[in-house]
Amino acid sequence: MRMRTSAAAVVGALALTALAVPAAQADGHDGDTAITKVTVNGGKNVVVGTSLVKKFTVTVTAKDNSGIAGADIELHGPGFGYLSGTTRCSGSTCTASFTVDPKVDLPYSNDVAGTWYVDAWVDGKDDDYVWKQKAASFKFQRASTQTVNAAPEPVKKGKTITVTGKLARANWDDFKYHGYTSQPVKLQFLKKGGKTWSTVKTVKTNSTGTLKTTVKASVDGYWRYSFAGTTSTPAVNSTGDFVDVK
């Protein structure tokens, strides 16, 4: 069995120095070993905040006429973002477990947020193997929050209401949430008793991540801000703020 070993592998922790990044290798294989499926975090992006430890898995399904003997699964992203997990195989599926503690693994590393890739090496029991860089991609993101407040409440029909809010995201420099600036956010409305939110307008956050706009009140309902997300930051909706229209 030809298991690849990575120099300076860091198990379950982000390696943020150039020395921890394994040397690049071209894709390759020997024999009939093939990767058929890769799933990261159950198909969801990996979102990390400022304090809670994030645990997730990556599963690689492969095939070989002799069976699967083992695998090495690593993750890499922007900057010096790098993760190596503990991998175990059962049948044709190999699972790597990863743990990210933001205060231990992410100090001063906002630049590692973005698109990440899975690198996988799988060995067959007959000494065949397959090595594939970028076998799958996913987003490693800074957690986001969104607030809303519609006022005044109640309001007379036809009068103006002001809808404010703030879009913020985790900052791994000081482990606080800071406003996400210059981002388009949708102001949405849900009529009382309705089921579908409708977009009224798009508002851009200012230099502190704050949102502010005005609309005319016509019927009772809920107002919210909805952010679609970016590569580095997940989508988020505020809770709905109910306005009673008299």
Q: Look at residue 70 in the predicted model and tell me its pLDDT.
A: 97
Which among 194, 189, 181 is positioned nearest to 163, based on CA atoms?
189
Q: Which residues pair with 63 in a beta bridge?
A: 34
Domains of the chain in start order, with CATH, are 18-142 (2.60.40.1930), 144-243 (2.60.40.730)
Q: Could you tell me the two tokens for 6?
A: 């990575």
Answering whether pTM is above 0.85, one says yes
Rg of the chain over CA atoms, in angstroms?
A: 23
Angle, CA of 103, 169 and 228, to the nearest 5°:
140
Which among 72, 69, 68 is positioned nearest to 85, based on CA atoms?
72
Quick one: CA dihedral 225, 226, 229, 233, positive or negative?
Answer: positive
Q: Look at residue 40 in the predicted model and tell me its pLDDT.
A: 98
Q: Look at residue 19 in the predicted model and tell me its pLDDT.
A: 29
Q: Phi and psi dihedrals of 18, rounded to 5?
A: -60, -30
Q: What is the pLDDT along the chain (246 residues), one digit of tens a residue?
A: 333 333 333 334 454 433 234 444 578 999 999 999 999 999 999 999 999 999 999 999 999 999 999 999 999 999 989 999 899 999 999 999 999 999 999 999 999 999 999 999 999 999 999 999 999 999 999 999 999 999 999 999 999 999 999 999 999 999 999 999 999 999 999 999 999 999 999 999 999 999 999 999 999 999 999 999 999 999 999 999 999 999
Q: Look at residue 25 in the predicted model and tell me its pLDDT.
A: 58
Identify whether the C-beta of residue 133 lies closer than 8 Å to the C-beta of residue 72: no
